[in-house]
Amino acid sequence: MSFCISWNCRGYRSRIDDIKSMINKYQPVCIGLQETFLKSTVSTKVRGYNCTRKDVATEISSSGGVCILTSNLYPSNALSLHTFLQAVAVQVHFKSLRTVCNIYLPPHDTASQYDLNQLMNQLPVPFILIGDFNGHSTLWGNNDTNSRGRQIEQLISDHCLCLLNNNQKTYFHEPSRTFHSLDLAICFPSLYPLLTFDVGSDLCGSDHFPLLLSYAENSVCVTERPRSYIFQRADWSKFSELAEITDTMVQTASINDAVQIFTESILRAADASIPKSSSRPRRLRKP
């Protein structure tokens, strides 16, 4: 079972049988599709799945478009995004509540850094960002880095995100018979150790391979919360008595040893005089 699939299908209607085959094979919680080429009048019903979509097709031509199919076995809700980008997002409760955002950045369109940053700011954490970014970078397995690639690198850096890609190629350029990496999976740091990344081996009639995100074996999604000091309930008199700071602490040959001794003294006093919050995880709100 895969938690999430991302695939540039290059036409939802023409690839519907392949989409259903993927669903039957991997039983994903959600599947993000790019370049759906859908008009608003076209239905996207798939048994057992709810669809959140954004179409950019006109009455004259079909192009672009994104959607997320979410299994109705898991509570989920679509998020309303205020963006000019081709992007949709859902919150889904699988082990815990998380956000999945699916995006398509056309290769010849200009996506401003401001619009990308605004999109990130609208996504409840923790989130997974999947899609076809049409950017080259050596960070995700290309031989070169172009302007779009540098833009995505900047996005990852500015928002302290983690790249799940592992240099596997995701796109086949038929004219040159070469492989590249254009499709990415990016996540919030807390999700990084929980997820595994893989690329499917079948193009399924497209020129993009599907990305497969699964939970790592033995991963635990509900962990203890870090305990923090409750300073409002501190016994400062006791703290002052226990926190013995003397000249001898810094009269050592090594500054590192002095810092360690000083820090340990402060922490021992704090642990004895300042209560801590519970490590039990917060109750998750339902979407």
Which pLDDT score is estimated for 222?
Answer: 45
Q: Which of the listed CATH numbers 3.60.10.10, 3.40.50.300, 3.40.50.720, 3.10.20.600 matches domain 2-215?
A: 3.60.10.10
Out of 81-90, 209-218, 237-246, least confident range: 237-246
Position 258 confidence tier, pLDDT thresholds 50, 70, 90: confident
Residue at 154: amino acid letter = Q
Residue in the block written with tokens 């009269």: 251
∠ at Cα 166 (92, 100), nearest 5°? 15
**Number of C-alpha atoms within 13 angstroms, CB side, residue 276?**
12
Out of 192-196, 236-240, 242-246, 267-271, least confident range: 242-246
| Domain residue ranges in the chain | 2-215, 231-273
Global pTM reads: 0.76
Which pLDDT score is estimated for 64?
Answer: 94
Output helix, strand, coil percentages for the chain, rounded to the nearest 5.
25, 25, 45
Task: Convert the pLDDT of each residue in 113-138 to its tens digit.
Answer: 999 999 999 999 999 999 999 999 99
Token pair for residue 67? 């959607």
Residue at 223: amino acid letter = T
Task: Convert the pLDDT of each residue in 137-178 to its tens digit.
Answer: 999 999 999 999 999 999 999 999 999 999 999 999 999 999
pLDDT at position 286 over 70: no
Cβ–Cβ under 8 Å, residues 179 and 161: no
